[in-house]
Structure 1
Amino acid sequence: MSQVLDTPPPTAGAAAETPARLAARYGLTVSGARPSLSEYIRQLWARRHFITAFATAKLTAQYSQAKLGQVWQVMTPLLNAAVYYFIFGVLLGTKHGVPDYIPFLVTGVFVWTFTQSSIMAGTRAISGNLGLVRALHFPRAALPISFALQQLQQLLFSMAALVVILLCVGSPIGISWVLAVPVLTLQFTFNAGISMIMARMGAKAPDIAQLMPFVLRTWMYVSGVMWSIDKTLKHSHLPHTVMVLLQANPAAVYIDLMRFALIDSFHADQLPHHVWAYATGWALLVGVGGFIYFWKAEERYGRG
């Protein structure tokens, strides 16, 4: 004789209970769900030591296989400046009419490299660290911010070499050098924001990293790294719109402000009107906007 065990039918209330209600009853949440903006900022602040340590470790490891080690942190931008000096300053004659052209050029190269490297590193911040993104739970904005911080640390090494150059060419130490601090703060905010924008775009389309060198090279040529925008605009007949775009270009704004802060022969009349408003506006627009843009896709990073 067989025995049949009947499972009692579910009650009407249990049958109507949805997965969402079950999750609410037991306090379950979606894995990797995007937190609120305020909570996201709190989580980032709680991991500030990780961001700093990660940036420092990446910078230390960058040249760990080279015999000269960390010397390349200074040598690389200096060699780039030497190449640009020969091509643009000597062969193309852009140094004519520009006082203290060597510190003028080196400052432009160093400040531009800060932005360029932040963007390139940010583009691969998610797509190049998928193992870390998928293995650990942390606010993903920590990655592009840490890469921008790494490039800021790199720039500070380079600035030490720039100070030596300024002293060698006879440029005196002045109170205006203090202005380098707010300039770097605004530029870092801008760079971190654009790094987060590129990180989200690079996470969805990794091939964009192959396109960025061409975009950045074009941007560099119109940013007054190797030539004086002020001198060129005074002797040109460019349309007014083009002139405004050249002067409001964020890369050119931060480069010119740094030159004004450090180079005694670079005077205020060489800066575009409302230059500090441009610098602050770009930092707030790109920094805050890039952070929100990145946060909007938080739950999608590392998936697929």
Structure 2
Amino acid sequence: MFKPILALVMVCAGCSCSAQTLGEELSKAGIPASGFSSTDLTQPVNASSGRDQGSNYLVYMRVNRENILSGFPQLVRYDSGTRRLVRKELPVGEKENCCGSPNGITFTRSYQLLEFHLSPSASTVIVTDRSLKPVEILYGFGIREIAPDEVIFTEDMVHFAPAHPERIMLADLRTGASQELYPPKGDALRAAFAKEHKEHMPPHDVCIAMNDPCRPDYYDEAIEFLVANAPERFSIRVSRDAVHSMTKDADPDSVASDRAFYVYQRREGQWFYCSQPLSGTTDEGPNCLPSLPVVADGAPEFQRPLIRRVN
């Protein structure tokens, strides 16, 4: 599945985009224009900004005369206390599957995470240290810090796939270690949904004609992160939806759906979880206690590199 993602990346990295000048973006980010040439300041760019610990940040991609993103990402930091301006070109490009339009900056205790849009279902995230040096690349979106310099994120997906089952990865930015947390292997709620899904499958000839995998364990899953309950503990809400065309001339429609809460907690270095059905229209929040060890389901079609160290 990783190769189709790369193809999408190459398309999106070269797509046309709206742009403002670097001077305009610096002004919006609260970064003084001194230290930039007049040519720099009039350069059309696509940018995103953020602020952390008294410093203003701007990440941008240059836009050429054909209104296409070009060159390497550029990162600027302005420390308001010392009035020091730092500019860095980040040598990350096509071989790292980067970069589309800047789509936000997330800060952890020691790192800046620069997200670049690739498709509605995929992003590339460049992780830089306090010296603004790239140290890692993540392939996902929806980054959240759950412990010092440890983040969870939704893994990239192939945008034009028949279904989009979102999955959650944990990454330790200090070491590059990772662990897939969702979906957990053997989860009872997912097994029950797959059983229900199987009972509402289209006829085999319709599956073939519509190029539909028609697999009970393959369906849309949308994940919503909830507020962290405590350090090294968080909750998510998962919405499942199985969509099929039941006849060759019918539009796709939902044949089964449900929602559930999942609570995760790390104890003595190991992650545990619990799952709880969410019924009705009210969300009272999860009240289960994480006691099941998290084991990645290991589905082969989702095994692809999602974290890459930068030398």
Establish whether TM, by shorter chain, passes 0.5: no
TM-score grouping bracket, smaller chain normalisation: under 0.3
Greater fraction of residues in helix? 1
TM-score, normalised to structure 2, is 0.22
Structure of higher RCO (CA pairs closer than 8 Å, 6+ residues apart): 1
